[in-house]
Structure 1
Amino acid sequence: MAFDEGLAERIRDIVDGDADVTERRMFGGLAFMVRSHMLVAVIGETLVVRTGPDLHRDALAFTGRNMGGFVTVEPSGFDDDASLRDWILLARTHIATLSPHGTRKARRRSDPV
């Protein structure tokens, strides 16, 4: 599945200068990552936004599509740059609460070896 290059470019313009943001192909689209966590992704013409459980209900009320900690936003939900910036900020707010991947402590086995 191809992704909307125009939308990807709009996201690049918004996150330009943020050294924490990287791009990775995923889900047949393009994901924008922060510290190895997906911030937003462009899949087809749809924007996928990482919201986390606390913000998920409020965002879901707007979009109506559930992906467990992520919401999908149809093009009418980000038709101007201010709306797109708001979605990215929502995702950034959640990502800021997460530890970087690879820093979690290893789980100990409860059974003796």
Structure 2
Amino acid sequence: MAYNEKLAGSIRKALADLPVEEKKMFGHLAFMVNGKMCLNAGSDSMMCRIDPVLHERELKKEGCQAVVMGGREYKGYIRVADKNLKNEKDFGYWLELALEFNRELTSRQD
């Protein structure tokens, strides 16, 4: 399944001033910020890597589901349906949650 080009373009534009590497994975396009997976454009959703502490709270929001692979739920990885990213405020909310956690992860490296 191919990723959503429009969504990928929106993510790319939002991350333009950051050190980003794009990687195709499982038919999706992952955006690695500071060497860490941060966001992922899928065919009909955006995956956000957020603080696992916020996982359960954010799952309660409309259009959200946990990332499950191999029958295992990954805490801190949430898919947000495209329809819940249509306006700038909603898109920005998820973008900022992912970037906040990315900053936290990268500050632990040293």
Instruction: Please confirm whether the aligned pair reaches a TM-score higher than 0.5, indicating the same fold.
Output: yes
Residue in 1 aligned with 2:89? 82
TM score, norm. by length of structure 2: 0.81
Larger radius of gyration: 1
Q: Deviations over 1:81-100 (max 9, x none)?
A: 22212111100111112148
Q: Distance in 2 between matches of 1:37 and 1:84?
A: 20
Q: Is the 8 A contact 1:10 1:81 kept in 2?
A: no
Question: 1:94 aligned to 2:94?
Answer: no
TM alignment of 1:33-112, pairs within 5 A: 33-62=32-61, 63-67=63-67, 68=74, 69-99=76-106
Q: Deviations over 1:18-54 (max 9, x none)?
A: 2x22211112110111122111101112111101311
Cα distance 1:13–1:64, how it changes in 2: closer, same or farther (>3 A)? closer
Instruction: Output the aligned Cα RMSD.
Output: 2.0
Instruction: Give identity over the alignment, percent.
Output: 29
Q: Is the 8 A contact 1:4 1:43 kept in 2?
A: yes
Q: AA paired with 2:98? A: A
Aligned residues: 102
Could you tell me which runs of 5 or more consecutive residues in structure 1 were left unpaired when the two chains were aligned: 105-113
Could you tell me which runs of 5 or more consecutive residues in structure 2 were left unpaired when the two chains were aligned: 68-73
| 4+ residue segments displaced more than 4 Å | none
Q: AA paired with 1:84? A: F
More strand by share: 2
